[in-house]
Amino acid sequence: MSDEHCSVCSGDVPPLIGQVLTGTGLTLAQAARRLLAGDALPDLTPIQRRLVEEHAERL
């Protein structure tokens, strides 16, 4: 089986690794606080934005 798309690593990057939002350098909590402060978060994917919004609702 040599299908290059069959492994876990061949998929999309996960939106979150631990508490860090992939590709942003921000933790979920940091991004949620920035969102609540009205800061723009342009580097978030739609999935990451939804995670941050849900986390911000709990703060």
Residue 41 sits at the vertex; the CA angle it makes with 59 and 46, to the nearest 5 degrees, is 85
CA distance 29 to 10: 28
Sequence-separated (6 or more) residues with CB below 8 Å from residue 13: 22, 23
- Tell me the three state secondary structure of residue 5: coil
Q: Which two tokens stand for residue 19?
A: 């508490």
pLDDT for 3 beyond 60: no
CA distance 5 to 15: 19
Q: Using 50, 70 and 90 to split pLDDT, how confident is the model at 1? A: very low
Q: State pLDDT tens for residues 25-38.
A: 999 999 999 999 99
